[in-house]
Amino acid sequence: MEVTGRVVVLTGAAHGIGAAMARRFATEGAAGVVVSDLDLEGAEKVVAEITAAGGAAIARHADASSKEDLKTLVTDARSTFGAVDLFCSNAGAAFGTGVHAADEQWTRSWAINVMQHVHAAQVALPAMLSRGHGYLLITASGAGLLGTPGDAPYSVTKHAAVGLAEWLAITYRPRGIRVSALCPLGVRTALLEPGIAAGHPAALAIAAAAPLLEPEDVAESVVHGLASEEFLILPHESVRETYARKAAGLDEWIDRTILETGARKR
């Protein structure tokens, strides 16, 4: 998919990767960009940047875990710009906790990191299927392929997000719908940097796995990945080789990960 002339909806787009994608899509000539986030003020700042540069965008407050909020985003996009071509479910949540995380943290992780993508598909697919084309971009994580020592809810739910993306691709590609899973490792965002500063094992493991990228680097990878309609969009190309090595010998992979990260029982 070329972004030029397309209508795009993004969640979690006030900061970080989402904001970088919104700006880049506008630069690529998107017909309209819906920038949504719990932080409406932040979303409005992104929209102001886009419109100042001659792009078309609107800001909306939305809880990415709410199906009704996502449905409203699709409605607003259609009434303002036209039918949605690309839905980017990008919001994420991480708590840096192990298997004994509070039930509320497990629940919130599942709601944001998994059910957001389920709801996005539910609200975007009907119109896409009726037209015979459309694109779902699920922001998962390299953690969804390689795991994250030190953060059980994040690792588990990101694996689930990749699994959902695979199911959607298998089910709907024959009907003209494309699906990609965006799986970066470390990116300089508010989700990761505080954990690195605090010395959290999960954040340190991600930072040690590959060089930290800027959100704009990820947005660049997304544009190229959409153009070639790759299922896995991997801003850190090393993930591809590491993922293959994991699949070739899982026990060896687990043992190596324990040694490299100093993982301990949690």
Residue range 144-163, pLDDT digits in tens: 999 887 789 999 999 999 99
Query: What 8-state DSSP symbol labels residue 212?
Result: P
Residue range 71-90, pLDDT digits in tens: 999 999 999 999 999 999 99
Class of residue 83 by CB neighbours under 10 A (exposed 0-12, middle 13-18, buried 19+): middle
Q: Specify the length of the chain in residues.
A: 266
Query: What's the rounded mean pLDDT across residues 210-218?
Result: 87
pTM: 0.92
The tokens for 73 are 């985003």
Residue 134 has pLDDT above 60, yes or no: yes
Residue 189 has pLDDT above 90, yes or no: no
Residue 206 has pLDDT above 80, yes or no: no
Query: What 8-state DSSP symbol labels residue 87?
Result: E
- Predicted pLDDT at 96: 80
Specify whether the CB–CB gap between 36 and 10 falls below 8 A. yes
- Predicted pLDDT at 124: 98
For the chain, domain boundaries: 7-261
CA dihedral sign, ordered 189, 103, 73, 159: positive
Residue range 28-81, pLDDT digits in tens: 999 999 999 999 999 999 999 999 999 999 999 999 999 999 999 999 999 999
Rounded to the nearest 5 percent, the helix, strand and coil shares of the chain are 55, 15, 30
What distance in Å separates the CA atoms of residue 261 and residue 34, rounded to the nearest whole number? 39
What distance in Å separates the CA atoms of residue 176 and residue 1, rounded to the nearest whole number? 12
Query: What's the rounded mean pLDDT across residues 168-175?
Result: 98
What residue ranges in the chain does DSSP mark as E strands? 7-10, 32-37, 57-61, 86-89, 134-139, 177-182, 232-233
Specify whether the CB–CB gap between 135 and 178 falls below 8 A. yes
pLDDT band at 266 (very low <50, low <70, confident <90, very high): very low
Residue range 230-243, pLDDT digits in tens: 999 999 988 999 99
Residue 154 annotated to the active site: yes
The tokens for 146 are 């390689």
Q: Work out the percent of the chain whose per-residue pLDDT is above 70.
A: 90
Class of residue 115 by CB neighbours under 10 A (exposed 0-12, middle 13-18, buried 19+): buried
Residue 106 has pLDDT above 50, yes or no: yes
Q: For strands 86-89 and 57-61, give the pairing.
A: unpaired
What residue ranges in 77-227 does DSSP mark as E strands? 86-89, 134-139, 177-182
From the candidates 135, 154, 172, 243, give the one annotated as an active-site residue.
154
Residue 58 Ramachandran class (φ > 0 left, ψ -120 to 50 alpha, else beta): beta
In this structure, whether the domain defined by 7-261 belongs to CATH 3.40.50.720 is answered with yes
Q: Which of 148, 130, 134, 135 is nearest to 184 (CA)?
A: 148
Q: Work out the percent of the chain whose per-residue pLDDT is above 90.
A: 79
- Predicted pLDDT at 173: 97
